[in-house]
């Protein structure tokens, strides 16, 4: 009799376990009671508030579609788990980077090149998407653009007697020297959060290294050591003008220090500005591009696709998904996004009018831009580790020439271990 | 009579079964899958092929991985020694006849109640703001920068680990010390022994089993060190604080080297298991000798 009971319990337990396995396997977007539910995935967390406003506007216009936004903080990992489950969200807002490339490689995205809104976008930015893979299909339409450069404190510049922003490297270094001589910290670096090292390095290498370099490097026909000496030298030169504890300062602390007028410049991107103005409403800020070369005309703004919109090729709600993307691409909505998120738009004619970034917006409108080099690096390459080590070496007194050689060697090692052909 | 006997046979199984099934589904199955994928080139999604031992061979040629092993062993060694030495000393102190014994015990146990991530963030503030401000005020250049941004970042992590790890070890040592009969000490006192001798000749042999447990748990835990590093340095600056687990996580999940890092995880498992078994073996023999 007891055996019988035991059997029941056993089968019950196994049944529940099996059911739970099945259930986790099949959670996906579904439509119930005639209403279509779109899954909208975003790799950024900071723009969720704007998306929410746009979504409620869209839902008002289309009462039979509801859009569910998810923007987890570790988006890359979440996307990967979607891919491994072989189910991806209907619409995705991704950056023009390794995360997007992973989706493209998995062949889960729809070609958008024939959509009406595509011709509205600036060709430079479409190119930034298509150049990530071979073929001329457009798997994501560029939406928002970010721009790197130098954010500077106008008050401190005036205090040091600098009236014009620099347009060449030597002018820039000269300004750093003037600031330093007036006991003003020229540049606030925040290398404790290692991604900020690449924000500096990208601007240097984008302006100094030719675009096809990466293809040669991927084929092992060239190395960092052979080509990037000048880039690394300039990177190290900049570190001389950083604050005392530049490797131990976190991004948040650095932004706070900058907002309190403790340093004159930050070398990063336009996305830093909202954080500063939040802390200090009266901050008198401006932005100019980092003048990497001696010839002013050669210098370009390092700018990339911050948000691109993509549609799954497996979605059951293709029409609704297209409608939603088309809605987001409307000029009025793009303008709202640009304004609220302090971004630039990939759509022609949608401009960013804020005074804070007027120093670089003209170059962006002219298309005088170059993409972030790291968008083309293998996704397993983490150059920020190499670059923080360079910073630590410099701080502990290693000679520049030794530091350059060693750092570039490390970069090559890291590249080789990341560059595995699939 | 027959029925009673049967009943006794089956109850333990019933008690173990639910957890055994859960353990099998959520621990053993993923583990076996990990072992399986370590012989493939699976990037974490999509298709895969068998590649034999390629991932394991790659591990030995990759300097980043060997650097992570070197760091982890160094860290585990220092952390184990310091945590056990300090917590044994503190446990002996807390077991003595002192004032506010209970309050002090509770205080020393407090770090264990806090999540490692929170501890990490608190110490981020201490290392990043408090100590440098203190250093600047006193004009001591050596402590006026954030230690987590220097070559000595691992020392910062070690300090936090010791601070938190002690709580649990003190607890175990205390329970060991309380199991020692006071009469033995009284007898020893009458014989006129020194406190130092009493500790090494009486206390330590009697709490040897607790020492074994602590040592094995410490080594195992510190070889798999992860949370405090993620909370404080994310493995930086450079790769200087990248432990094996941190490397497995960052490279495996964020950089699509799932198969290679699965191989790494298998190797780590073998190492941890081997060291633990070795320790148990040696220390158990020692215990027998001491008794």
DSSP code string of B228-261: HHHHHTTT-STTTT--HHHHHHIIIIISS-HHHH
What does the pLDDT average to over A35-58?
Answer: 91
pLDDT at A354: 85
For a pLDDT cut of 70, what percent of chain B falls above it? 97
Average pLDDT value for residue range A319-334: 94
Position A62 pLDDT exceeds 60: yes
Q: Shortest CB distance from B149 goes to which of A84, A102, A247?
A: A247
pLDDT digits (tens, 9 = 90+) for B169-211: 999 999 999 888 888 888 888 888 888 888 888 888 888 889 9
Given this model, what pLDDT does residue B77 score?
95
- Among residues of chain A, what percentage have pLDDT more than 70? 91
Whether residues B128 and A80 touch (CB distance < 8 A) is answered with no
> pLDDT-derived band of residue B235, with 50, 70 and 90 as boundaries?
confident
The predicted complex's ipTM stands at 0.79
**Which residue in A106, A108, A382, A394 has the most chain B C-beta atoms within 10 A of its own C-beta, making it the best mutation to test that interface?**
A382
What distance in Å separates residue B195's CA from the closest CA in chain A?
A: 46
The pLDDT of B145-156, averaged and rounded, is: 90
Chain A: closest CA distance from residue B119 (Å) = 17
CA separation, residue A62 to residues A36, A52, A67, A321, B51 (Å): 10, 15, 10, 12, 51
Q: What pLDDT digit, counting tens, does each position of A65-79 carry?
A: 999 999 887 788 788
B84: closest CA among B158, B160, B154, B168?
B168
User: Is B280 domain-assigned?
Assistant: yes
Q: Confidence band (pLDDT; 50, 70, 90) for B61? A: confident
Q: What is the pLDDT of residue B179?
A: 87
Taking an 8 Å cut-off on Cβ atoms, the answer to whether B18 and A248 are in contact is no
Greater model confidence, A56 or B252 = A56
Q: In the prediction, which pLDDT does A374 show?
A: 87
Give the B window 24-63 contacts with A, CB below 8 Å.
Answer: 25, 41, 43-46, 62-63
Between CA B227 and CA B246 the distance in angstroms is 9
Say what the pLDDT of residue A110 is.
93
Q: B137 lies in a domain?
A: yes
Lookup: tokens for B79: 């952390």
Is the predicted pLDDT of residue A415 greater than 50, yes or no? yes
Report d(CA B110, CA B95) in Å as an integer.
17
- The helix (run of H) or strand (run of E) holding residue A42 is strand A36-42
Bridge partner list, A41? A70, A92
pLDDT of residue A22: 45
Interface test with chain B among A9, A388, A410, by most B beta carbons within 10 Å: A388
The C-alpha of B40 sits at a distance from chain A's nearest C-alpha, in angstroms, of 12
pLDDT tens-place string over residues A105-156? 888 999 999 899 999 998 889 988 998 888 889 999 999 998 999 999 999 9
Cis upstream peptide for B237 (omega within 30°): yes
Token pair listed for B164: 């938190």
Residue A9 has pLDDT above 70, yes or no: no
Band the pLDDT of A94: cuts 50, 70, 90.
very high
Q: Give B150's contacts in chain A (Cβ within 8 Å).
A: 247-248, 392, 395-396
Reported as a pLDDT band with limits 50, 70 and 90, residue B45 is confident
pLDDT of B85 strictly over 50 = yes
CB-CB under 8 Å, B22 with A247: no
- Of A46 and B36, the structure prediction assigns the larger pLDDT to B36
**Which residue of A lies nearest to B241 if distances are taken between CA atoms?**
A385
Number of domains in chain B: 1
3-class secondary-structure state, position A94: strand
Tell me: pLDDT of A283 over 60.
yes
Q: Say whether B210 sits in a helix, a strand or coil.
A: helix
Instruction: Write out the two tokens for A46.
Output: 């900071």
Say if residue A189's pLDDT is above 50: yes
pLDDT range class, residue B7, cuts 50, 70, 90: low
Q: Is the pLDDT of residue B151 over 70?
A: yes
Mean pLDDT of B138-143: 83
Predicted confidence (pLDDT) at residue B168 exceeds the cutoff of 60:
yes
Confidence band (pLDDT; 50, 70, 90) for A29? very low
Supply the pLDDT for residue A232: 96
pLDDT at A308: 95
Q: Is the dihedral of CA A399, B235, B145, A230 positive or negative?
A: positive
* B:202-231 residues touching chain A, CB 8 A cutoff: none
Cβ contact (<8 Å) for A106 and B46?
Answer: yes
Range with the lowest mean pLDDT among A96-100, A125-129, B218-222, B287-291? B287-291
Of A264-268, A411-415, B78-82, give the lowest mean pLDDT range.
Answer: A411-415
B240–A contact, CB cutoff 8 A: yes
Scan for tokens 């831009």, then name that residue.
A369
Round the average pLDDT of chain A to a whole number and report it.
Answer: 87
Pairwise CA distance, residues A360 & A155, whole Å: 19
Q: How many CB atoms lie within 10 A of CB A263?
A: 23
Q: Considering CB atoms only, which of B6, B44, B250 is closest to A84?
A: B44
Question: B142 lies in a domain?
Answer: yes
Q: How confident is the model at residue A4 (pLDDT cuts 50, 70, 90)?
A: low
Contact (Cβ atoms closer than 8 angstroms) between residue B155 and residue B131: no
Predicted confidence (pLDDT) at residue B147 exceeds the cutoff of 80: yes
pLDDT at A419: 78
Phi-psi region of A32 (alpha: psi -120 to 50; beta: other; left: phi over 0): beta
- Residue A212 pLDDT more than 70? yes
pLDDT at position A27 is 41
CATH number of the CATH domain containing B177:
1.10.3720.10
CA distance A411 to B192: 66
Mean per-residue pLDDT, A84-105: 86
User: How many Cβ pairs within 8 Å bridge chains A and B?
Assistant: 119
| CB of A342 closer than 8 Å to CB of A154 | no
- B20 within a domain of the structure (yes/no): no
Note the pLDDT of residue A377. Answer: 87
Token readout for A312 is 């799954």
Q: Is the pLDDT of residue A42 over 90?
A: yes
Decide: B75 and B157 in contact? Cβ < 8 Å.
yes
Q: Mutation test of the interface with chain A: which of B4, B63, B126, B149, choosing the one with the most A Cβ atoms within 10 A?
A: B149
pLDDT tier, A12 (very low <50, low <70, confident <90, very high otherwise) = low
Domains contained in chain A, CATH given: 36-146+304-355 (3.40.190.10), 148-302+373-418 (3.40.190.10)
Which of B14, B62, B240 has its CB closest to that of A417?
Answer: B62
pLDDT at A19 over 80: no
pLDDT at A317 over 50: yes
Confidence category of residue B251, pLDDT binned at 50, 70, 90: confident
pLDDT at B5: 53
Chain B contact set for A84 (CB, 8 A):
44-45
User: How near does any CA of chain B get to the CA of A29, in Å?
Assistant: 20
| B54-63 average pLDDT score | 87
Identity of the residue in B10, B17, B43 whose CB atom sits nearest the CB atom of A2: B10
Separation CA B286–CA B209 (nearest Å): 10
Residue B25 lies in a domain: no
Cα gap A8→A384, rounded to integer Å: 57
CA separation for the pair A293, A172 (Å, rounded): 10
pLDDT exceeds cutoff 70 at B110:
yes
**A2 confidence band (pLDDT: 50, 70, 90):** very low
The verdict on residue B107 lying in a domain is yes
User: Is B226 a member of any domain?
Assistant: yes
> What are the angstrom distances between the C-alpha of B90 and each of B59, B93, B97, B169, B248?
41, 5, 13, 10, 35
Structural domain boundaries enclosing B232: 63-290
pLDDT band for A332, please (50, 70, 90 cuts).
very high
Q: How high is the pLDDT of residue A32?
A: 52
Q: Is residue B134 part of a domain?
A: yes
From the list B44, B146, B151, the residue facing A192 with the nearest CB is B146
| Rounded-to-integer distance, Cα A421 and Cα B41, Å | 10
In this structure, what token pair is assigned to residue A221? Answer: 């026909």
């Amino acid at each position: 009799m007891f055996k019988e009971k035991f059997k029941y319990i056993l089968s019950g337990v196994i049944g529940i376990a099996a059911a739970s396995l099945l259930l986790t396997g099949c959670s996906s977007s579904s439509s119930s009671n005639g209403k279509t539910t779109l899954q909208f995935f975003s790799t950024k967390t900071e723009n969720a508030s704007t998306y929410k406003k746009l979504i409620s506007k869209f839902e008002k216009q289309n009462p039979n579609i509801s859009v569910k936004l998810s923007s987890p903080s570790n988006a890359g990992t979440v996307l990967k788990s979607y891919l491994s489950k072989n189910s991806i969200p209907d619409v995705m807002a991704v950056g023009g980077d390794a995360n997007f490339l992973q989706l493209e490689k998995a062949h889960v995205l729809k070609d958008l090149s024939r959509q009406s809104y595509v011709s509205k976008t600036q060709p430079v930015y479409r190119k930034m998407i298509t150049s990530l893979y071979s073929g001329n299909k457009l798997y994501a339409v560029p939406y928002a653009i970010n721009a790197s450069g130098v954010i500077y404190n106008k008050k401190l510049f005036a205090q040091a007697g600098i009236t014009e922003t620099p347009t060449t490297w030597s002018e820039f270094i000269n300004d750093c020297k003037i600031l330093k001589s007036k006991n003003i910290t020229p540049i606030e670096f925040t290398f404790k959060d290692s991604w900020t090292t690449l924000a500096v390095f990208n601007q240097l290498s984008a302006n100094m290294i030719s675009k096809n370099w990466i293809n040669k490097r991927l084929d092992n026909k060239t190395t960092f050591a052979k080509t990037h000496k000048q880039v690394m030298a300039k990177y190290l030169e900049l570190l001389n003008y950083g604050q005392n504890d530049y490797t131990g300062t976190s991004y948040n602390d650095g932004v706070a220090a900058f907002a309190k007028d403790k340093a004159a410049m930050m070398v990063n991107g336009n996305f830093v500005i909202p954080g500063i103005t939040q802390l200090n409403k009266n901050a008198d800020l401006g932005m100019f591009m980092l003048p990497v070369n001696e010839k002013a005309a050669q210098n370009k703004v390092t700018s990339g696709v911050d948000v691109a919109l993509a549609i799954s090729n497996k979605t059951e709600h293709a029409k609704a998904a297209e409608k939603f993307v088309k809605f987001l691409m409307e000029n009025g909505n793009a303008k709202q996004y640009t304004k609220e998120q302090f971004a630039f738009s990939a759509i022609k004619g949608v401009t960013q009018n804020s005074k804070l970034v007027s120093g670089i917006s003209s170059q962006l409108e002219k298309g005088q831009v170059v993409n972030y080099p790291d968008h083309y690096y293998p996704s397993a390459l983490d150059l920020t580790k190499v670059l923080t080590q360079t910073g630590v070496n410099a701080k502990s007194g290693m000679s520049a020439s030794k530091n350059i050689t060693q750092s570039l060697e490390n970069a090559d090692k890291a590249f080789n271990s990341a560059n595995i052909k699939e | 009579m027959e029925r009673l006997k049967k009943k006794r046979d089956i109850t333990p199984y019933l008690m173990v079964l639910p957890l055994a099934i859960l353990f099998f589904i959520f621990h053993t199955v993923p583990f076996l899958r990990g072992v399986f994928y370590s012989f493939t080139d699976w990037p974490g999604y999509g298709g895969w092929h068998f590649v034999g031992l390629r991932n394991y061979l790659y591990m030995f040629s990759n300097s980043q991985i060997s650097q992570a092993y070197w760091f982890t062993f160094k860290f585990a060694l220092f952390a184990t020694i310091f945590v056990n030495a300090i917590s044994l000393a503190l446990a002996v102190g807390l077991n003595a006849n002192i004032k506010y014994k209970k309050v002090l015990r509770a205080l020393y146990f407090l770090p264990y109640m806090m999540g490692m991530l929170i501890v990490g963030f608190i110490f981020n503030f201490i290392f990043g703001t408090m100590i440098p401000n203190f250093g600047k005020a006193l004009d001591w250049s050596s402590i006026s920068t954030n230690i987590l941004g220097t070559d000595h970042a691992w020392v910062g992590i070690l300090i936090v680990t010791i601070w938190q790890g002690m709580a649990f070890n003190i607890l175990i040592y205390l329970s060991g010390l309380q199991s020692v009969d006071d009469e033995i000490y009284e007898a020893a006192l009458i014989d006129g022994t020194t406190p130092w001798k009493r500790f090494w000749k009486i206390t330590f042999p009697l709490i040897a089993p607790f020492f074994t447990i602590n040592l094995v748990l410490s080594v195992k835990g510190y070889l798999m060190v992860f949370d405090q590093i993620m909370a404080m340095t994310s493995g930086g600056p450079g790769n200087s604080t990248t432990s094996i687990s941190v490397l497995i996580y960052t490279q495996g999940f964020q950089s699509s080297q799932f198969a290679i890092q699965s191989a790494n995880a298998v190797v780590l498992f073998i190492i941890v298991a081997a060291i633990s078994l070795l320790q148990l073996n040696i220390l158990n023999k020692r215990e027998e000798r001491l008794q």
